[in-house]
Structure 1
Amino acid sequence: MSDAENTTDTPEARAEAVRALEAEFGELITHFRRVITENANRVSPGLLPGAYKIFTTIARCERVTVSTLSERMLMDKGQVSRTVRELEDLGLIERTADPADGRSSLLELTPLGTERLSAARLPQEGLLLRTLEQWSLTDIGNLTRLLHALGSGGTPGSSAAD
């Protein structure tokens, strides 16, 4: 049994466990911020982390409008538009007419953008796989299930399908 399982479930013990979890999330967030900053600089020296996040979201969506991008990222449409122009000026993304709505454009990565993103991610490629190399598949599955439950505001089920 772990120390957490040996502890009596009191309001104080629960609060302490949540504070410890919050501290670990803080460390993880700091790590991810560092990775994002490094990747942004590899894509284009001086590229801000926020611009990198918009860039990678466009890559993940493949083709997306500014409106959808700003909604998805919970950002002001004007700020997203300014960043999109910056990414266009760097030759990393391009606009094409949206066949479904002639008033809007679809954003997608250029071949240069795809190449730069791949090169930027290369140093971290496989890092998570290497980090989890000694973990059991059960532990990886449990972590995935628990993070999903936490992110969705649900209660952990007994399987990943819950």
Structure 2
Amino acid sequence: MDEHAETLRAVEHELTALLRRGRAVSWEVAREVHQNLEPNAYGLLLWLRRYDSVRLTDLASRLRIGKGTLSRQIRGLEALGLVRRTPDPTDRRASQLSLTEEGQQRFDAARAARMDHIRRVLDSWPAQDVAEFARLLDKFNNAWS
């Protein structure tokens, strides 16, 4: 068998394991933020936490999802009191999204627990390996889009 093909199968196997584990963690972390939060919404909160404020259209483009789909998800987060939508000062037809104070507090608490877990998993790795792992994940994610 071709060595490159076997290596790609190994990558696919490890990605599948990572994604399966990630889905389980997403359920746990979402529940830590709010008992009614959908697991996929944690990722939205992560992006909103990264930005102070972001236009709905820009976030939809970045996440590669439709504006309608994102708008429905945002409405759910607004109903939970985690996200606010305000008119864009440069274009009143557009919306700016940001986390509410409660959304920031809940997200930060859940993220701290998640980061502690990641820290424990990677604690025995040399710092150079952790940096290389982060670099390669970034490279992979950027190439995927």
TM-score greater than 0.5 by the shorter chain: yes
**SS at 2:40 equivalent:** helix
Cα distance change of structure 1 residues 76 and 98 upon mapping to structure 2, 3 Å threshold: same
Q: Does 1:108 align with 2:102?
A: no
Aligned residues: 143
Aligned to 1:52: 42
Q: CA RMSD in A?
A: 1.9
- Offset of residue 139 of structure 1: 2.1
- Could you list the runs of 4 or more consecutive aligned residues of structure 1 that deviate by over 4 angstroms after TM superposition? none
- Offset of residue 44 of structure 1: 1.8
Cα distance change of structure 1 residues 13 and 32 upon mapping to structure 2, 3 Å threshold: same
Question: Which one of 103, 118, 123 corresponds to residue 108 of structure 2?
Answer: 118
State the distance in 1 between where 2:41 and 2:133 align: 30
Mapping of residues 65-104 of structure 1, within 5 Å: 65-104=55-94
Conserved? CA contact 2:29–2:114, under 8 Å = no
Higher relative contact order (CA 8 A, sep 6+): 2
Structure whose residues are more often helix by fraction: 2
Conserved? CA contact 2:53–2:98, under 8 Å = yes
* TM-score for both structures, normalised by structure 2: 0.86
State the distance in 1 between where 2:95 and 2:58 align: 11
Among the aligned pairs, what percent are the same residue?
Answer: 36
- Offset of residue 152 of structure 1: 4.1
State the distance in 1 between where 2:54 and 2:97 align: 5
Matched to 1:92, the amino acid is L
Greater Rg by CA: 1
**SS at 2:85 equivalent:** strand
* TM-score for both structures, normalised by structure 1: 0.78
State the distance in 2 between where 1:60 and 1:114 align: 11
Gaps of at least 5 residues in structure 1 are: 1-10, 154-162
